[in-house]
Amino acid sequence: MKNSSRLSDLRVMSEDQLDDEALKLKKEQFNLRFQRASGQLQDTARVRVVRRDIARVKTIAAQKRAAENKG
């Protein structure tokens, strides 16, 4: 259920907001990688969740750009 509400939140964002969200997630991904490399990562599943969230944000942004260019 959590993913569907998150997805609907992403769909109502503007392209700029989606770009900001992607940047925030990329920073979190970097921090998680750094923690994993230094052996301090507690929540290993978070790496996968963040990676998939980045993909979702990029997909929605691409769909919005395609719709904008088409119409």
The enclosing domain of 62 has a CATH number of: 1.10.287.310
| pLDDT at 36 (0 to 100) | 97
pTM above 0.85, yes or no: yes
Ranges of the chain with pLDDT below 70: 1-2
| pLDDT at 7 (0 to 100) | 84
Number of structural domains the chain divides into:
1
Q: Residue 43: which domain range?
A: 2-70
Report the C-alpha gap between 49 and 62 in whole angstroms.
Answer: 20
Report the C-alpha gap between 71 and 56 in whole angstroms.
Answer: 23
Per-residue pLDDT tens over the stretch 53-63:
999 999 999 99
Identify which of 27, 30, 18 has the alpha carbon closest to the alpha carbon of residue 61: 18
| pLDDT at 5 (0 to 100) | 79
Identify which of 42, 66, 56, 59 has the alpha carbon closest to the alpha carbon of residue 2: 56
